[in-house]
A and B are shown apart, each in its own frame.
Chain A
Amino acid sequence: MAKALHIDYHKCTGCRLCELVCAVSHDGISNPIRSRIRVMKWEAEGLYIPMSCQQCEDAPCMNVCPVKAISRDESLGRISVDYDACIGCRSCVGVCPFGAMNFNAIDKQVFKCDLCDGDPQCVRFCEVKAVDFIEADEICTSKRRTAAERVSAAGKEAAALEAQL
């Protein structure tokens, strides 16, 4: 089973270092519009949500591509663009439900997360691990544990309330 990018926005501090290292490691350039991962912000509420490609199983970008330039790379668990085949029609940009297929107006090319060939730089630099790279079937395990803790805490609270009555 390949690893997947797991984003836990609760942990995100909104610093956008992921954007910087993504752009610099791919293009050697600092410019957020070149980043495959983007942090969406609601500053007035202190809410920051990193958005990136989900590498969908039934990927709309792959399905819509008229020249079959987009394909699934099973070994790395990613969806890739074949730039020799791509005609730059941006159909994939239009259908992506996450806004994760980007178009770079400077180089006139679509681009998306390639998981840095298995060593995502956004993950490497994110100290709080708001962006993590873990086995896809393990993502739910930690979530299940957190949810179970909530259930347990709620149970204890209920018992304590009952004892007071």
Chain B
Amino acid sequence: MPLNRKIAYIDLTTGDIQTKPIPLEVRKKFLGGRGLDAYLLYNHTKKGCDPLGPENALMISGGILTATCASATARTHVMAKSPLTGLLGSANMGGFFAPELAWAGFHHLVIKGKAKHPVYIYVHNGEIEIRDAREIWGNTVPDTQWAIREDLGDQEVKSCVCGPAGENLVRFANVMTGIKNSGGRTGMGCVMGSKNLKAVAARGTMDIKIARPAEALEYNKRFIDQIVSAKVNQTQGALGTAFIWGATNSWGGVRCRNFQYNQCEYADDIEPERIDEIAEETMGPYHMTGCYGCQVHCRAQYKIPEGPYAGKYDEGPEYTSQGAFGGETDTPRALTVLVGNHLVDQFGMDNLETGSLISWAMELYEKGIITSKQTDGLDLRWGNDDAVIEMIERICYRKGWLGDTLADGGIPASKKIGKKSFDYLIQVKGMSNLHSDERATPGLALNIATASRGSDHLRSRPAIDLYHLPQDVLRKIYSNPVAYDGPLSSEHTEYIGKPWQVFWHENCYMGVDSLGICKYHTTFLGATLPNFEDWSKVLYYNTGLEMTPEEIWQVARRNNMLERLFNLREGLIRDDLEKGDMLNHRYFDEPCRRGAIDVVGRLIDKEKFIKMIDELYEHKGLDPDGVPKPETLKELGLQKEPSHLL
């Protein structure tokens, strides 16, 4: 049964390892994955703990459905206090690690302490050992994984690792597995580096008994048919997420030149079809690859066609890399995107944060806030491809004044640079926004302002808001599994009804993250894709656990509230520009300059925006300061946290 997978507590300082079963009552309360990780983080860290100190707890987990017959249950979740934001740190990635961890007998690892020298953890059929990684330290992300396979003499081992960026304590270093599966955002790789932990390797051959195999299989088949019939997934399966670029750029929803424009001109060169032309092996049904058990197969494979990195193999580039190394820096050239994407994959560094900070530095360079003195002579003008590539490496290895400064993240860098540099920084809670521009889409702006891990599109984004769905379709989606009879608008530039959509998606995404399913298999990009009702069934068929859609909704609310409690404990204040639910002034002051006719001239109306936050707080059961009301905590059974059930 998936429910008999255990939790292990590993202390890297003492070498002590304890394993425990996960009680059923805990499962029913938090399910697993990100939700249970949030509970563990709240319980296993103390207020104000140093994110880079041995007292920070690093959680690595799979969801409750990992490696079962539900579809696309490949997601690995990683959580700790973030060294980038000082608030919640959370990363989620695909690949093959979490299923291997489950076959090795575990769903959750809690790692504390700091090893005396570089080590890696090896989890194998119910057993855990800490092994020497001194020979492996310094390796790139893929090389680390191959070296561990050599060390263990087993080619089937799967590892999640930190790259050189994590070792160098770049505050936005990723934890990664495979070629490009990135546990990005909030610097979980940096936490690994701070613990001298190079990798966690897993190999398992322990049975996971499926509660009702015949039903689970048939339901999975239905699930897959539904998922591959969605147009969005078909396109994604042929071109990768890079297909999104053309649409969002044409209507004016991407950041260009940091935040100066909301559209990138002459960007056809970074369209997937163009990349397909120049890269040796990329795109199309014959050159796509997928995560465990997934029929969407959304990642392209490519070889860099020319230049110093010619012939290097990688996967992607994702939509995020097109924006990070093409749009924001105004370098919309395929080769720059391919090389930039390759470098962050090798270094284990967040592409979104890297591209965003480089474009911010470029704007500061343009304004004269930093000069060639701070850039050590590097010409950081807009559109300088070589400078972008050079900066990626400088950040990873903390080379030069600017590389070292940006490696500490946006807010610390703005303090060091001074001179109003903070005003130009596009971030929330200390984490840079991805390359999207939300000035014309209040619902999406509300999402990034209030997301639990900072400016982020994967926590609560109502992405389907852009499809202008008819009222009755919206009503059907958003009044399940709990009733909602408030307003809903099909118009993406509207403010009404959006707080409920953000609240609904926040719970939906917490649902998939706790089950261990990928967001491309739920109501994220595809409006018709499965959610609560289907999860209730797959959960029962695979684990035997009986939970109604409403109960899963409640679990999602509870888990989101735990993340809120953690953030409040660590200093979240509603209107704070550094640690709050608030956007940079530019969203309210600078109108969109490009894009579709209903987008040009748009900006966020601050008064209406603040009302949206108020309304979202109402839905979540928070008071006007963003603090949970006592009755909300009582309803969710969280009055006595930390409760130390695990």
Contact = CB atoms under 8 A, between A and B. Distances in A.
The answer to whether A and B belong to the same complex is yes
A128 interface: yes
B209 interface: yes
A15 B213 contact: no
Contact of A31 (B142, B206, B224): B206
Interface string B178-206: 11000000000000000000000000011
A30 B295 contact: no
A125 B213 CA distance: 15
A42 B198 CA distance: 22
Chain A interface residue bracket vs B: 20 to 34
A31 B297 contact: no
Contacts of B220: 21, 125
B583 to A, nearest CB: 39
Nearest to A105: B205
Contacts of B69: 20-21, 24, 30
B324 interface: no
A29 B210 contact: yes
Contact of A128 (B67, B216, B217, B285): B285
Contact of B297 (A13, A21, A24): A13
Given A15-B294, A21-B217, A106 B288 contact: no
A125 B216 CA distance: 13
B207 A24 contact: no
Interface in A32-58: 32-34, 43-46, 48
B68 A14 contact: no
Given A28-B210, A43-B179, A17 B295 contact: yes
Given A25-B213, A125-B224, A15 B297 contact: yes
Contacts of A125: 220-221, 224, 295
Interface in B112-153: 142, 145-146
A92 B639 CA distance: 62
A127 B228 contact: yes
B75 to A, nearest CB: 14
Given A46-B313, A127-B228, A28 B295 contact: no
Interface in B392-406: none
A145 B14 CA distance: 64
A11 interface: yes
A10 B281 CA distance: 12
A16 B224 contact: no
A133 B380 CA distance: 57
A15 B181 CA distance: 13
Contacts of B281: 46
Interface in B278-298: 281, 285-295, 297
A13 B207 contact: no
B178 A16 contact: no
B301 A46 contact: yes
Given A33-B205, A46-B313, A13 B213 contact: no
A124 interface: yes
A40 to B, nearest CB: 9
B315 interface: yes
A10 B313 CA distance: 17
Nearest to B142: A44
A121 interface: yes
B161 to A, nearest CB: 13
A10 B293 contact: no
Contact of A15 (B145, B217, B290): B290
A30 B292 CA distance: 12
B208 A14 contact: no
Contacts of B209: 28-29
Contacts of B295: 15, 17, 125, 127-128
A128 to B, nearest CB: 6
Contact of B205 (A17, A20, A31, A43): A31
A28 B213 contact: yes
Given A10-B286, A13-B289, A43-B178, 12 more contacts: A15-B289, A20-B67, A21-B217, A25-B213, A28-B209, A31-B205, A31-B208, A32-B205, A33-B205, A44-B146, A44-B179, A127-B295
9 contacts: A15-B289, A15-B292, A16-B293, A24-B210, A28-B213, A34-B207, A46-B179, A127-B295, A128-B295
